Structure 1
Amino acid sequence: MCSSLDSRVEESIEQAAEALFGLQRSNGSWPNRRPTSVMGTAGALTALHVVDRERSHDLIEGGVRWLLDTQNADGGWGGTAGAPTQIVPTVMAATALRLAAPHASQSVRRALDVVESHGGVQALPDPGMTLVTSVFLELAELGDVRGIKRVPRELFLLPQQLWRRHLSFGVALVIAISFIQTRKGLPGARRLLDRLARPAALRALEQVDRSETRRGGYGGDNWLASAVCVGLSCAEEVPSRMISDIVDYLRSNVHEDGSWHMIQGLDLIGSAYVSQGLADAGYASDPRMALARQWLRSCRQDEASPVFDTPAGGWSWEGPRGWPNFLDTANVLTALAAGGSEEPSEHLRHGLRWLESRQDRRGSWGTFIPNTTFPNDGPCPYATAKCVEVLIENGVPRDDPRIRKAVDWLFTQQREDGTYESLWYRGLTPGTAMALVAFCRAGVTGHPAARRAREALLGAQLPDGSWASGKTGKLGDDHAKGTVEETAWALHALLASGVPADEPRVRRAADWIMAAQQPDGLWPASPVHMYIRDLKYYVDGLIVHGLALKALGSYRSALAGIPRQETEAL
């Protein structure tokens, strides 16, 4: 391989590393720019209009202007400003404008026309989101909820272990919707049962709130907090503090341009990816990386979560408090493992045991609760493959029953075209790439499923050398335009599977990633992250850099013929 190519890869990695270390905070973390969010803004507008209209008048006006300015030419909105139109954010924006900006009736009409042109909210692939969007449309007098199911709040009269598995991380939203649905009252016996269930539902909601980094910030999510606020405003005998905490939370989060972001606390997720990328690019022993790992360790949760029935020892995107989940924990563990023998083994060992304990009876991993029936927290090929990778790389034998069970489950989840889906990343590229990596770590590269996944990735490469979402048919996916994130996932997986660095398609992918690098040494982020599965995407400002560095680090190693090293069992 020519030295000019080697030097280009080296220069790209060094430029990115220098830029990232320049952004690193003194505590070891990296600041993650929180993307402005259509749903976050629409939710905050709705909530403040309903419960704090007078005091928050200026904030409401600013949010209305932002929504009107960011409406797409087709009349809809995507997850963020300028993103392709998707139905759920369009409905939420229309609802907010209908309530808070009567003068914006034309914009609301255009938005509703877009929704109807795609079959209306009844055509959404997720029945839960059909319910949620219908309830908000009815709240703004833009729809009719007759025939829509009522959320059975009496479910909360049952022991928590009976409803937890069915509601998962949707507990707060389910309670909020149940309150909005009953604001006009219920007939007869239902009214009595609903009244009996109200205290139990409020206790569950308070339990969620007590686990938060900040009171009133459910999941660190402005839209969810807003939905809870609206729901509580429709309920009777609700402690005023619960509403005022949310209002204070929303008021503190508004941006100068009048918008609200989506998720608070993406620093941990982004920092974990950046740490992984820098380590794979050759900086694992850098003192600044030791500081990053120290910060990640400090974010481990030292309390059990009664809401999710999880022990202490996991990680959440919000930091030391919040909603512990499997995928964030696996990513942090990968970053910590890069420290090698310098990493305090008890932290890594405890985290690995925590992750192992979350495997469900199928052999897969979801996100929050094992064995859940909740659609957006079911078994996930990407999460399962990531957990397989991190466990094997930290000493769990390939023939361990847990690994074999997980790999066998992955075999059953492959689509006919050889691809895999993911719960939390759009399209088919991330899941397919991660599954291929897991097969390689598990030593089954020759299995037909692994061969099909590899061929599917190679076949999906775009003419310019990049990868996009793949042909999914989902509104908002653009399978013709590559992204750095998806290209990096694919390149790393192909190299892990043994495709040589001098293979033309691999070289084109590496060239594309380097060409996409900006003058400041970093890469542009794209909306490839799932907020609501297939219905709303968002941009993460840091993950893209970690993925790009990981891919280029793998490519450089492949050029040099350096084999990947695995750690010994802890």
Structure 2
Amino acid sequence: MTANNSTIDRLTTETAIKKAQDYLFSLQQDDGHWCAYLESNVTITAEAVLLYKIWGIDNQKPLHKIEHYLRSKQCSHGGWELYYGDGGDLSTSVEAYMALRLLGVSVDDGALERAKKFILSKGGISKSRIFTKFHLALIGCYDWRGVPSIPPWIMLLPNNPFFTIYEMSSWARSSTVPLLIVFDRKPVFAIEPRIKLNELYSEGIENVIYEMPRNGDWTDIFGQLDNLFKLAEDWNLVPFKDESIRVAEKWIIEREEITGDWGGIIPAMLNSLLAFKALRYHVNDPMVARGLQAVENFAIETHDDYFVQACVSPVWDTTWSLRALVESGVAPNHPNLVKGGEWLLDKQIFDYGDWVVKNPHGKPGGWAFEYENRFYPDMDDSCVVMMTLHQLQLPDENLKREAILRCLRWVESMQCHNHGWAAFDINNDANWLNYLPYADLKAMIDPATADITARVLESVGSCDLPMSASRVQNAIGYLIRQQEEDGSWFGRWGVNYIYGTSGVLSALAVIAPKVEKNVIQKGINWLVSCQNSDGGWGETCESYKNPALKGKGKSTASQTAWALIGLLDGGSSIEFLPENSIKKGIEYLLSQQTNEGTWEEKEFTGTGFPAHFYINYHLYRHYFPLIALGKYHDIFLSANH
């Protein structure tokens, strides 16, 4: 197909692609991998400050740089944001305020005066999230009575269809098991400086009611159960308490990586270290030392700032960077790509992780997001790695093929009963867990989603992998059922409907282009309908709370690229390319490219927990636009068209 009236000439596009390729190559590490800054909100650093204080190692950290970082992130309204441009978030602001006080900043400081005003205007500490209150309780700034009880005996529950800890999502599980110990001990650590945050209670500290919120519906039963759990604690009647704590401790010990990580995420790492502290481990205990070093490994220190990332993304960044380079024209046997591909091969996981509890017949072979995460490989990374390796030419092609097939067999075994795929687990969909008082982030489960299911099907179709026809057809049916009335798909792991729609279109384009032509066309029509006047696409994180905002927001490079990838893949498969919309999108990307060959993007377009936790992946704005430009060049500008 040609674009005879295109105003985008080949030289301009190829120059932009070459600049982007050169920039990406410049970021590659000596061993072949990529890993960019994973930006979230300031609570991660604030909680790290608390941890350093509790363990008495704060004097080993550049506290003045942490203070500078926290001050630099404060907004003009006095609060701190959950994501860029959100107007400020209460819990984030309370934790930032706490951290600054722990760093010795006076309540009379102008920054804290502004923060106090903002926090009180949002309802104060009593309206903050459970995990904010939990961190305050650790230092006596909130009463443990207002924190939900978690009975430790849940560690001893046998396999049953109702509940074990494996009904929780991997991230909730790895964060919650250590909290069974901390919540049982209810420690109040004496740290310096000793602070009180009474000024942040809008109702006055003397009027605070430390109890679970009531909703006036069936979920109030959980509040009543919490009262019973607390009564049992008060009367020392918690059954099997000591044995439960020992089992929880053993569980944590078994899951610490050689690098000191737990689950590859800071919440699990911080909570596990707090559990060790509650159990009176010594700061120089090897497991503690290794864990504290792991937190340090997630930190970034610059000339002015020190802050901690929620996670690191080397496998994810590496596989997408390699894919972008190949799809934009770099030879699949280029030495740098070979080095990156072999780095990925070395990261394949052959350990039986937590997934085996609900999938006892599966055999390991997936990839995780981080450098080391034996217990929690995930479908998204695994499928993108399979596609990337398939595109590369490596010295040992037989080994590569068998690695892909081994991963496929694991992924296939993880299909859920509704025929979709989730990120980390199988059939992890006990939605009632999200109504627990403890679960105010609404992220206790890991159900199948359209974007993950689409990634699986895209890998099967694009790599010509031997998955059973019935599994494939059932998964296609799942995606069709998930399509919204307007033609879009929800995006669980990227913001939001633009991400989900793009992914499903790419999948259907290679797995069922003719059969599902009408479904694909409906998705294409939706993407075209939400294109901005500047030619780009954008979507606010608020679309997770308000579906009326789906597909609406300031244009960004990553979201524009997602829309273009969906249009180019889906349109090519059914010979329905909306050329005018595509050209405007490409013109937007070309016009926004910097002299260095990359794109700027302050907006958060990655999703951790919808409505509660967002991520700015600092390479999203680069490798996705490069993929879009490469696909456009192949379809419209290459010598073959």
Is the TM value for this pair above 0.5? yes
Measure the CA separation in 2 of the matches of 1:176 and 1:88.
22
Give CA deviations for 1:13-69 in whole Å, capped at 9, x if unaligned.
11211222233333222242454751331121010111215643x534432332123
Name the counterpart of 1:568.
none
Query: Which TM-score applies when normalising by structure 2?
Result: 0.77
Consecutive unaligned residues of structure 2, counting only runs of 5 or more, are 188-232, 430-442
Match of 1:163 among 162, 165, 168: 165
Please list every run of at least 4 consecutive aligned residues from structure 1 whose deviation after the TM superposition is greater than 6 angstroms.
80-83, 119-124, 475-478, 561-564
The 1:135/1:391 distance shift into structure 2, 3 A limit, reads same
CA distance in 2 between partners of 1:521 and 1:151 (Å):
51
CA drift of 1:202 comes to 0.9
Counterpart selection for 1:508 from 584, 604, 607: 584
Distance (Å, rounded) in 2 between the aligned partners of 1:81 and 1:469: 13
Whole-angstrom distance in 1 between the partners of 2:85 and 2:49: 20
In structure 1, runs of 5+ residues without a counterpart are 125-129, 565-570
AA in 1 matched with 2:79: G
2:130 maps to which residue? 131
2:295 match? 250
Answer yes or no: is 1:260 the counterpart of 2:263.
no
* 1:71 paired to 2:144: no
Matching of residues 407-418 of structure 1 within 5 Å = 407-418=476-487
Query: How has the CA–CA distance of structure 1 residues 327 and 118 changed in structure 2, closer, same or farther, with 3 Å as cutoff?
Result: farther
1:463-491 deviations in whole A, cap 9, x for unaligned?
Answer: 11111125616499994311111111110
Structure 1 stretch displaced more, 468-477 or 352-361: 468-477
Residue in structure 1 matching 2:556, options 483, 488, 496: 483
2:534 maps to amino acid:
D
Q: How does 1:45-444 map to 2 (within 5 A)?
A: 45-52=49-56, 55-56=59-60, 58-79=61-82, 85-101=88-104, 103-104=106-107, 107=111, 110-111=114-115, 114=118, 130-143=129-142, 146=145, 148-159=147-158, 162-184=164-186, 186-191=233-238, 193-209=240-256, 212=257, 214-215=259-260, 217-235=261-279, 240-251=285-296, 253=299, 255-256=301-302, 257-287=304-334, 288-306=336-354, 309=357, 311-319=363-371, 321-322=373-374, 323-339=376-392, 343=397, 344-373=400-429, 375-396=444-465, 400-444=469-513
The structural deviation recorded for 1:232 is 3.4
Provide, for residues 85-144 of structure 1, a one-character-per-residue CA deviation record: whole Å limited to 9, x for no partner: 3455334323433444462476557556645655778889xxxxx432332244455555
Q: 1:432 deviation in Å?
A: 1.4
Q: Is the 8 A contact 2:40 2:615 kept in 1?
A: no
Where 1:404 maps in the other structure, the secondary structure is: helix
Task: Measure how far apart 1:398 and its partner are.
Answer: 9.2
SS at match of 1:7: helix
| Contact 1:168/1:308, CA 8 A, preserved across alignment | no
The amino acid of 2:543's aligned partner reads T
Q: Structure 1 residues 405, 117: closer, same or farther in 2, change over 3 A?
A: farther
Say what the alpha-carbon RMSD is for the aligned residues.
3.4
Assess, with a 3 A threshold, how the Cα gap between structure 1 residues 54 and 238 changes in structure 2: closer, same or farther. closer
CA shift in 2, pair 1:137/1:527, >3 Å: same
Measure the CA separation in 1 of the matches of 2:537 and 2:618: 19
| Partner secondary structure for residue 106 of structure 2 | helix
List per-residue Cα deviations over 1:400-450 (Å, max 9, x = no partner): 111111111122223343322222212221011111222222325645543
Q: Is the 8 A contact 2:169 2:445 kept in 1?
A: no
Give the structure with higher Rg (CA).
Answer: 2
**TM-score normalised per structure 1:** 0.86
Residue pair 1:282, 1:553 contacting (<8 A) in 2 also: yes
Q: Quote the residue 2:532 is aligned against.
A: 462
Closer/same/farther in 2, CA of residues 87 and 324 from structure 1, 3 Å limit: farther
Inter-partner Cα distance in structure 1 for 2:268 and 2:120: 25
Cα 1:223–1:427 change in 2 (3 A) is same
* Alpha-carbon distance in structure 1 between the residues aligned to 2:100 and 2:355: 34
1:332–1:150 distance in 2 versus 1, CA, 3 Å: same
Q: SS of the counterpart of 2:617?
A: coil
Q: Does the 8 Å contact 2:367/2:382 carry over to 1? A: yes
**Cα deviation per residue 1:349-374 (whole Å; 9 max; x = unaligned)?**
11222221222121111111111136
The residue identity in structure 1 corresponding to 2:531 is Q
